[in-house]
Every structure is written in structure tokens, then in C-alpha cells.
Amino acid sequence: MSDTAPPWDEDEPAAEAEERDTLTADIFGEPEPAAAPVAPDAPAVAKADPMAPAPYTADSPAYTVLARKYRPRTFEDLIGQEAMVRTLTNAFASGRIAHAFMLTGVRGVGKTTTARLLARALNYETDTVHQPSMDLAVEGRHCAAIVEGRHMDVLELDAASRTKVDEMRELLDGVRYSPTEARYKVYVIDEVHMLSTAAFNALLKTLEEPPPHAKFIFATTEIRKVPVTILSRCQRFDLRRVEPPVLAVHLSRICEREGAKVEAEGITLISRAAEGSVRDGLSLLDQAIVQSDPGQVVPAKVVQDMLGLADRSQTIGLFEQVMRGETGPAIESFRTLWGFGADPAQVVLDLLEHNHAASVSKALGPDALALPKEQAQRIAAVGALASAGTLSRFWQMLLKAHDEVRRAPDPSAAVEMALIRLCYAADLPGPEEALKALREGDPTGGAGPGGGGGGSAASGGGGAVAQARFAQPAVQPAAQSEPTLASFEDVLAMIDRKREIGLKLDVDRYLRLVSFRPGAIVFEPAPGAPSNLSGRLVSKLKEWTGQPWLVATDGGGGAETAWEKQKREQREARAEIEADPFVRSVLEAFPGAEILGVKQLAVPQGEAATEPPVEADDED
């Protein structure tokens, strides 16, 4: 038995040789076998699996979206939140640091980022700094761990996933223990409004009497859902929306760093579409950069199509047609915009924006509009010709139309029906105008031939009179007795007759006339001019003449104001008198004498004007 080997032992070496993997040696760290030399003239052909993914190398890293790549690292990187940063800087400098912070604001303005920066600032420590600091330019000992979310003393939680009271109690059980490494134990709770009422009550006692080593930072987009008892125990900071001009500068700077080229108008469209959210703006910029080949400029038209926006000049034209009551052309203009891919709801939003801009320009003048000069003048002209009641009525109708468009099964049809209503209402009088017309026995308007309304301007209807009113603002019936102002001097004389002292002083001192025609005044405002000068002048001229007036401002080229002209004439008259030989001889004969004033004496009319006045003799 001993001489006979078991059957499974007979072929054991061969089996081991067949089953052994040739790459097993690599697992145990043995050196790889030397590759066979390749002849210089024989090209090496690498055999690879065509279905295998491309290998990851340092030259092809995973892409990081711009919203994460350019997340602020210091408080100086926060844009549009200067007031909050200034308050926190003063609090840290004076040592008056609150135990709880409440950060609120719309999406994407930097609430979570600010919370992380605050956690770093509270636990900031370097070899030379051993106290909380807002200066995070130099990375501290705990900064990297806090940013990466792995620090033991900084707990970042999402209230949406921990809404129950038991979870909040479990969290608060660790508050009484001192921090392990850092200065403070910081609790960052995002979307805190998602907590239940019981969870808020469990948190209340800890917020009222927290241990000295604990800090709480809350962030929420729904501040009204947070109980007042919680808010009263926190230092609240309202993060503001970032204004489009500020966001546009930020996006342009990022484009330069990324080597991307986007037209300035496209950047402006993105900053406006972001609605104050930096994160939304960066996400849209990320999408816009890939709209063209690398190294090519992304046109504004491409960005406009990407956002589903209509051309602003075309929507302004649509707004003008609606205000004139041109139903047919307005519907055709909208169908053209819809055919180019404009979103129907966005078209209504643009009309709302133009309505608001026209109302603001009516009150403050075209300079109050953050629009290009040509577009601002077009909207200001509409605002000057329309009454405040009409613009307010259009605003309410457009708000209702926007809600209908969002809920309608066919949004484009809803927009067309809204345009028909708007054109019909273009000539409807307001309550005061209707009452006055009824008292005087005049027709109230708003109806075309046969009593029907809503027709196009060519066939009568609600917009027929409105079209005539907007097309020829200066034409009035001959039967009216309103005064006609043919020149700017007539305007000044009218202001004098009406004894509008305040308006007279402002017009004389700050109005540099550029051009004048009946019904329209363009002027350059002098330095220090009141912002409501245009609106006051429009209101008074319309009240006095019964005609709509357009009063617009221009950047330069205006003549001198009446006050400047008067001062110049006084200087010229004084210089002429001082140059007179007789006056010079009198001044030389009486050293120290000076000319105190110059008065123009009234010259008698007729033949007596040629004879010098005879003074009475005192001795007679």
C-alpha cells in the first residue's frame, strides 16, 4: 500500500502546473517578468479590449461643475453679502459672537457655504492665531477637515432627513460633551424649517441655555415656517439676492479663468435668468459654455435660445402693439416669437417686466431703467402716453394671464386669448374717466361700430381709439381750448402763469434742453437734478394742456440751463462795465472802491427815450 501512491497524488504536479495563474506572483509583490525586447523597426501594437473604458489619468480628471469649483473659500469671495460680512467681522473682532445663527435667503445665495465658512471661522487656529477669526486666507489646522466634512466637532446635518423628535434628542445628547479637537462643537443644520414641532421644542431648551463650547448654525429658505421662539434665540442674517450687474461681473470673471468666451449680452441674459441665485447663474453658465466649440465665442442668440427667451426688442414691440390695441398684429408678433421657440409663459413675463418698467419710468424717468438707451426710451414713451390707471390695469390682467398660461393645456392659445383681452382693454376708460364721461353725456369708448369690442385697429373695436391716441399724441380736436405750447419758452411761461414755484426753480436750475417739439421734450439733467423732475413735468404739462407729453433725458449735448444763462449774462455785463474807460477812471480815482452790483434801468418808450433824464435840482 505504501508503494502505491493514491490516484490523486499521481498527477499532482501537472495539475498544479495547469491550475496556477501566471499572474499569481504579482499578487504577492514579486517583480513582473521582464518584457521581451522589441526590435526597433517592429512597431509595438498594444492589444486592448475595445469595450473597456478609457483609463483615468492625471490629464483627464473628472469634471467639476462651476458651482462647486468656484464655491467661496473665504468671506471675501462671497458676492452681494457685504452687509452680513461686515457685521460678522465686527462681532468677531469685538468678541461678541452669538451662540446661534440663522441664515435665510432664496436658493443659491450662499447659505450653506456661509455656514461652513462660519464653522471654519469659529474653529480657526494656526501657529500664530488662537482665537476665532474671519480672515481665512491662510488655511488653518481644522479647515481642510471641516471643508471635507470629516471633522469630529463639526456636524453638518440635513433637517429634511432628521425630522423626528427622537433623532433630535439623540443629536442633542452629545451637546453637553466638550469638543474633541477644535475650540467649539458646531452643529450646522440645513433646511431647518423641515423639523417637526416636537423637534423644535426639543431644540428650544438647548438654544436657550447652550453650553459655552457649542455653536448652532441654521440655514433655511422658508423662514416663515421656523417658530418665533427659535428665531428669537438666534442671530438672523438675511442673505440678499445678488443683483444682475454684480452677478454678470462675477460670471465674466469666471469665464476668463475658464478660458471660455461668451458675449457680454449673453452673460447679461444669464445673470437676469438666475433671479439673484449665484448657483443657478453658474449652472446656466456651465450649460452655455458647451453651446459652441472650444475656443469659439458663444453668441448671445445661442444663449437666448438655450434659455427659451424671446428677443427683448421684439417683446417691446409686442408690448407697444398691445398698448395701441392692435389685436391682429399683436397675435402675429406672438406667433412669430413662438415659432422661434420662445416659451409662452416667458413672453408673458417679459410683458409684465415691460409694464413694470413703463410704470417706473413714468414716475422716475427713463434713467431709472437698467436697460440700453434705445429700449429705455421706447418703454418710457409708452409709459408717458399711458395713464397710471391703464398700466395698473394691464399689470393685473397680465398676472392673471400668466397664471392661466401655466395651467392651460395649450399655453400658446392662452397667450393669444390674453392678448385679445389686453387689446380690447387698451381703450377702456378708468372709473374716474368713465364717470366724467357719463356726467358730460360723452361716449365712454371701448366699443367699435355696432357696439362690439375687441376688434383690430383697422376694423374698429376696443383698440381703435387707443391706436390713434398713441400714434399721434400731440393732435387734439380744434374745438378744445387747451393752450398750445409751440416752444420751450412757452413751457416756461406756462409754469410762471401757473405759479408752480418749486417746478420753476428746478426747471431753471437743472434742465439743459436738448430738443423740443410739441408733445416731447428731451433734456440733459444738470448735476444734482432731482430724480422725479421728468415725472413732475409730464404730470403738470398733461394737466395744463390736456395732451400726453414725453419728457426724456439724454446723456449729453444739452444747452445751458436758464440759471446758467442768467449767470453768464451777468458775468458778461459786469466784465463789459469793468472794461468801460469811465468806470476804470472812477475806480482809479477812489482806491479801494469796487462794483457791488449791476442793475438794468428801465428805458422809457417813445421819443422821451432819446433824451437823457433830467435830475431835479435840490436848491429849487
How much is the pLDDT for 469?
47
- What pTM was estimated for this model as a whole? 0.53
Q: Are 213 and 78 in contact (CB under 8 A)?
A: no
Give whole-number Cα distances, 308 to 271, 287, 342, 484, in Å: 14, 13, 5, 48
Give the orientation angle of helix 264-273 with respect to helix 278-289, to 10 degrees. Answer: 140
How much is the pLDDT for 441?
60
Query: Mean pLDDT, consecutive 10-residue segments, the chain of 620 residues?
Result: 48 47 50 50 44 44 83 88 90 90 89 91 89 88 88 86 79 86 90 88 87 92 90 90 89 90 87 86 90 83 76 84 89 87 87 90 79 78 84 90 91 92 77 64 47 39 46 44 72 82 82 81 82 82 81 75 81 81 80 74 52 47
DSSP assignments along 541-586, one per residue: HHHHHSS--EEEE-SS-----HHHHHHHHHHHHHHHHHT-HHHHHH
Scanning the structure block, which residue is given the C-alpha cell 398698448? 323
Scanning the structure block, which residue is given the C-alpha cell 473665504? 74
**Which residue type, as a one-letter code, is found at position 52?**
A
Q: Are 73 and 136 in contact (CB under 8 A)?
A: yes
**Which residue type, as a one-letter code, is found at position 221?**
T
Q: Are 227 and 200 in contact (CB under 8 A)?
A: yes
Give whole-number Cα distances, 110 to 59, 204, 251, in Å: 31, 26, 16
Q: Are 108 and 271 in contact (CB under 8 A)?
A: no
Dihedral of alpha carbons 241, 245, 248, 249, sign:
negative
**Measured distance CA(464)–CA(448) in Å, rounded:** 8
**274's grid cell:** 438666475
Dihedral of alpha carbons 327, 333, 338, 342, sign:
negative
Hey, which residues does 218 pair with through a beta bridge? Answer: 102, 189
Q: Residue 201: how many CB atoms within 10 A of its CB?
A: 15
All structural domains of the chain, each given as residue ranges with its CATH number in brackets, are 70-238 (3.40.50.300), 244-307 (1.10.8.60), 312-471 (1.20.272.10), 488-563 (3.30.300)
Q: Are 80 and 242 in contact (CB under 8 A)?
A: yes
